A and B are shown apart, each in its own frame.
Chain A
Amino acid sequence: MSVSAIRRLILTGLLIAIGIALSIANPTFLKLDNLMTMLQEASLTGIVAIGFTLILITAGIDMSIGAVIAITSMICVNFISYTQLPAYIYIPIALAAGCAIGWVNGFFITHFKLPEFIVTLATRGILAGLALIIAVKDEQGFVKNVFIEDPVFLSFGETVGPVYIVTIVFILLAIATQFFMKRTRAGTNIYASGANPTAARLSGINVDRTLIGVYMFSGFCAALSSIFLAARMMTAMPEFGIGNELDVIASVVIGGTPFTGGIGDIWGTIIGTLFIALIKNGILKLGLSPYIQPIVIGGIIIVTVVADVWYKHHAEKKATQAARRKAMESKEVGA
Chain B
Amino acid sequence: MNTKSALFKEHMVELRLFGVLLGLMVVLSLISDRFLTVDNLTNVLWSVCLIGIMTTGAIYAPITGGIDLSVASMAALAGILANVFMNTLGMNWIVAILITLVIGAGIGWLNGVVTTKFLVPAFIVTMAAKTYLFGVAMLVSNGDQITIMEPAPFLQIGIGKLLGIPIPIYIMFTLVILSHILLKKTVFGRRTIAVGANEVAAKLTGVNPDRTRIIVYTISSVTATIAGIVMASLTQQAYAMNATGYELDVITAIVVGGTSLMGGSGSVVGALIGAVMVGFINNGLNLLDMPSAFHPIATGIVILVALIMNQGVSVPAVLKKWFARPGAAEAAK
Q: Which residues of A are at the interface with B, using a C-beta cutoff of 8 A?
A: 61, 107-108, 111-115, 117-119, 121-126, 128-130, 132-133, 246, 249, 259, 289, 291-299, 301-302, 305-306, 309-310
List the A residue with the shortest CB-CB distance to B304. Answer: A122
* Cross-chain contact A118 with B128 (CB below 8 angstroms): no
Residue among B120, B131, B303 making CB contact with A309, cutoff 8 Å: B120
* A259–B291 alpha-carbon span in the complex (Å): 37
Residues of B within 8 A of A309 (CB): 118-120
Q: A121-B251, A309-B118 are in contact. Are A126 and B301 (CB under 8 A)?
A: yes
Can you name 17 A-B residue pairings with CB atoms under 8 Å? Answer: A111-B318, A111-B322, A112-B318, A119-B307, A121-B248, A122-B304, A122-B307, A125-B296, A125-B297, A126-B301, A129-B297, A133-B297, A249-B124, A291-B138, A291-B139, A297-B132, A298-B135
List the A residue with the shortest CB-CB distance to B292. Answer: A132
Chain A CB within 8 A of B123 CB:
yes
* Cross-chain contact A295 with B300 (CB below 8 angstroms): no
Q: A306-B114, A309-B118 are in contact. Are A118 and B303 (CB under 8 A)?
A: yes
Chain A CB within 8 A of B185 CB:
no
Tell me how far the C-beta of B161 lies from the nearest C-beta in chain A, rounded to whole angstroms. 33
Residue among B130, B135, B304 making CB contact with A108, cutoff 8 Å: B304
* A288–B323 alpha-carbon span in the complex (Å): 56
Q: A121-B251, A129-B297, A259-B121 are in contact. Are A246 and B304 (CB under 8 A)?
A: no
Residues of B within 8 A of A306 (CB): 114, 118, 120
Tell me how far the C-beta of B58 lies from the nearest C-beta in chain A, rounded to whole angstroms. 14
Residues of A within 8 A of B299 (CB): 122, 125
Residues of A within 8 A of B136 (CB): 295
Residue among B67, B132, B295, B296 making CB contact with A298, cutoff 8 Å: B132
Residue among A121, A133, A293, A298 making CB contact with B128, cutoff 8 Å: A298
Residues of B within 8 A of A291 (CB): 135, 138-139, 143
Tell me how far the C-beta of B34 lies from the nearest C-beta in chain A, rounded to whole angstroms. 22
Chain A CB within 8 A of B255 CB:
yes
* Cross-chain contact B248 with A293 (CB below 8 angstroms): no
* A269–B255 alpha-carbon span in the complex (Å): 34
Residue among A107, A112, A132, A249 making CB contact with B307, cutoff 8 Å: A112
Q: B interface, by DSSP: helix, strand, loop or mixed?
A: helix
Residues of B within 8 A of A122 (CB): 299-301, 303-304, 307
Given contacts A112-B308, A249-B127, A298-B131, 15 further A-B contacts (CB under 8 A): A115-B261, A121-B248, A125-B248, A130-B297, A246-B127, A249-B124, A259-B120, A291-B135, A291-B143, A294-B131, A295-B139, A297-B132, A298-B135, A302-B125, A305-B124
Instruction: Report B135-161 CB contacts with A as 1/0, cut-off 8 Å.
Output: 110110001000000000000000000
Tell me how far the C-beta of A124 lies from the nearest C-beta in chain B, rounded to whole angstroms. 7
Q: A111-B318, A113-B313, A118-B251 are in contact. Are A132 and B291 (CB under 8 A)?
A: yes
* Cross-chain contact A259 with B124 (CB below 8 angstroms): yes
Tell me how far the C-beta of A57 lies from the nearest C-beta in chain B, rounded to whole angstroms. 15
* A291–B123 alpha-carbon span in the complex (Å): 22
Chain A CB within 8 A of B311 CB:
yes
* A194–B118 alpha-carbon span in the complex (Å): 21
* A97–B303 alpha-carbon span in the complex (Å): 22
Residue among A119, A128, A246, A310 making CB contact with B131, cutoff 8 Å: A246
Tell me how far the C-beta of B185 lies from the nearest C-beta in chain A, rounded to whole angstroms. 29
Tell me how far the C-beta of A164 lies from the nearest C-beta in chain B, rounded to whole angstroms. 27
* Cross-chain contact A292 with B308 (CB below 8 angstroms): no
Chain A CB within 8 A of B81 CB:
no
Residues of A within 8 A of B313 (CB): 112-113
Chain A CB within 8 A of B294 CB:
yes
Residues of A within 8 A of B125 (CB): 302
Per the 8 Å Cβ criterion, residues 294-327 of B in contact with A are: 294-297, 299-301, 303-304, 307-308, 311, 313, 318, 321-322
* A294–B129 alpha-carbon span in the complex (Å): 10
Q: A129-B293, A246-B127 are in contact. Are A114 and B135 (CB under 8 A)?
A: no
